[in-house]
Chains A and B, each alone.
Chain A
Amino acid sequence: MKATRVFQLTALALVGVSAVQVGWWLLDQHAYTVQKVRSARAGYSAQVAAAQALLDSGASAPRVTQLLPDIVVSGGRAALAPQLDAALTSEERRRYNQYAWEGSFFLLALAACIAVIARALRAEARVHEEQDSFLALVSHQFKTPLASLQLSLETLALRAPPPEAARTLIERMLADVARMELMVTQILESARLERGRVDLRPEAVQLAGAVARVLAQLEERSRLAQAAVTSEIDAALYVLSDPLALDVVLRNVLENALAAVEHAGGGRIACSAAAAGGVVELAVRDGGVGFAAVDGARLFEKYTRLPGGGSRYGTGLGLFIVRRLMELARGTVSATSDGVGRGATITLRWPADARAGSAAAGEAGRAAPAGEPRP
């Protein structure tokens, strides 16, 4: 990384020096041309003066033009041949034009090089900055559950608590481990998405089954968050998505809702879905901490953790992953809230697919096994 930066900076310096060199070359050539034209004109002026002196001393016009072929004589006056004057002016203009075109081309090419290198440097600086803030964030986010885990373990070792208190400590430790595991998963998923290392294979997946499967995984987490989770999704609804990507999307959305509810001291989470206008829409409503309307769009940016929000225990990557995976599935995601402390709704929309739509219609009421793709 450092070698690349050194190379970029060296290239930038070389291109900069080259631009200065081209500028200097242009000025030099311009000065040279001016000087050459001036000396040519001075030479011609001397010839005209000499011719005039010869004429004045009685030499005949043919004799003068024979001696000085660049001179014409008209009415006893010597002058430079008009075609020579025109040729000199034309050569002077041609050279200026040449410098202007060549110089502009080289300077533009060099300016483009400088712009490209400067852009690369800026992009790299931004990546460095993001990496630094990401590392700071990740280390901070890991240290809190780690501190809690260590505290619980040392409490067990130091106090030898009765079975009931020990069970509470163990549950707390398991939840801390789960938090850290979720963070690791999110960081890896986010890194894969950013590097484009995703191989999505969309197929028709039953939505109700996929939601049920993720909810089953999060059952213990829901209990600890004191969340009452309900899901009312028509078994006939199918979405066109990669099953694993759908699983990741649903897990992150539901984890987000659980964190919001947990921080509000418990509450309800309701999942409902509908198909309308060629779109399958899943809404996850929670009675959690909510957010201010202005923060709605920011929720899906990387590392966003809103003040007062339950998501601050995470990496700030969960909803970013959701947005990227929904984009790859040609879907959308949006978030709404009536304000801080008034819950929130995350709405996921997948475009209807002819295959999924017709299949769904044909199988209305017959639920496939939870989360499994249609045969």
Chain B
Amino acid sequence: MSDAGPTQVLVVEDDPHLAAGLMENLRAEGYEVAAAGDGEQALGWLASRACALIVLDVMLPGIDGFALCRALRERGDSTPVLFLTARGDPADRVRGLEAGGDDYLAKPFHLQEFLLRVRAIVRRWQWYRSASASPATAVLRFGGNEVDFRAFRARAWNGEAQELTEKEAMILKVLAEQGGQIVSREDLLERVWGYDVFPSTRTVDNFILRLRKRFEKDPANPQHFLTVWGVGYRFLKEGGA
């Protein structure tokens, strides 16, 4: 997924009609599209190629969409995933996002909403990658911690190696880019997840807690990830309460 060429999308859908419809529309929007009819095929395709987005059906023959997404995350593949599923209840949404998905769309869906979500995910990731492209922006050092945004790895102040999830890295990136300015929870949600994926901004709070545990010497008295009550968060590179 370079900025020069078309953006590659992989559609993993076992229903041939739906797969064909999705592919035609994605191609019409300028994406380069590949298709896989089941999880095994998708894993095979992803073993040798990369893409900007995986549109993933949940109910697949053999390995299901959730398991496929977990398998990708476990092997360090952070390619964004948009789940498509006939099961649209909140519990399933949460399951999908816990499996490492970036967004979730219940069938039947509106074409324009689908395309909007695809664009939003791709845009977020293109922003993240371009914001981490140069050696100066790829690595963040603060309070004895060192974060490598491209490898999703970090070394904490106590020398401990950390594997960051893509969401943690993106939150850190958004906060670091603001250079000490306050970022609201809503802004973080919008920049990292999109507009309506999660039901509440509590999710952001949980991720901030996780970042504090990873990088703060005393997570109960944070020096870098500061809460601005009722507004959001502020990241201080140099530390300070």
Q: Are B111 and A144 in contact (CB under 8 A)?
A: no
Q: Are A175 and B61 in contact (CB under 8 A)?
A: no
Determine whether A140 belongs to the interface, using a CB cutoff of 8 Å to chain B. yes
Chain B, Cβ-Cβ closest to A169 = B21
Q: State which of A33-41, A148-156, A295-303, A366-374 sits at the interface with chain B.
A: A148-156
Q: Are B61 and A312 in contact (CB under 8 A)?
A: yes
Contacts of A231 in B (CB 8 A): none
Contacts of B106 in A (CB 8 A): 143
Q: Are A176 and B24 in contact (CB under 8 A)?
A: no
Q: Mark A130-151 against chain B: 1 for CB-CB distance below 8 A, else 0.
A: 0000001001110111111111
Chain A, Cβ-Cβ closest to B19 = A148
Number of interface residues of B (CB under 8 A): 25
Cα–Cα, bound, A145→B87 (Å): 14
Q: Are A155 and B61 in contact (CB under 8 A)?
A: no
Which residue of B17, B24, B38, B110 contacts A175 across the interface (Cβ within 8 Å)?
A: B17
| 27 chain-A/chain-B pairs, Cβ below 8 angstroms | A136-B87, A139-B86, A140-B59, A143-B86, A143-B107, A144-B18, A144-B86, A147-B107, A147-B108, A148-B15, A148-B21, A149-B108, A150-B109, A151-B111, A152-B17, A155-B21, A155-B24, A155-B25, A158-B111, A159-B28, A165-B24, A172-B17, A172-B21, A307-B61, A307-B62, A308-B38, A308-B62
CB distance from A258 to the nearest CB of B (A): 13
Cα–Cα, bound, A155→B25 (Å): 7
Q: Using a CB–CB distance below 8 Å, which chain A residues touch chain B?
A: 136, 139-141, 143-152, 154-155, 158-159, 165, 169, 172, 175-176, 262, 307-309, 312-313
Cα–Cα, bound, A165→B20 (Å): 12
Beyond known contacts A151-B21, A169-B21: 14 more, CB 8 A cutoff: A144-B18, A149-B108, A150-B110, A150-B111, A151-B25, A152-B17, A152-B21, A154-B110, A158-B111, A172-B17, A172-B21, A175-B17, A308-B38, A313-B15
Task: With A151-B22, A155-B24 as known contacts, state yes or no: A144 contacts B15, CB within 8 Å.
Answer: yes
| 8 A Cβ contacts from B20-37 to A | 20-22, 24-25, 28
Cα–Cα, bound, A147→B229 (Å): 43
Cα–Cα, bound, A151→B84 (Å): 13
Q: Are B61 and A154 in contact (CB under 8 A)?
A: no
Contacts of A309 in B (CB 8 A): 61
Determine whether B112 belongs to the interface, using a CB cutoff of 8 Å to chain A. yes
Q: Are B107 and A144 in contact (CB under 8 A)?
A: yes
Cα–Cα, bound, A120→B112 (Å): 50
Contacts of A147 in B (CB 8 A): 18, 84, 86, 107-109
CB distance from A135 to the nearest CB of B (A): 12
Q: Are A140 and B17 in contact (CB under 8 A)?
A: no
Contacts of A313 in B (CB 8 A): 15
Cα–Cα, bound, A172→B109 (Å): 17
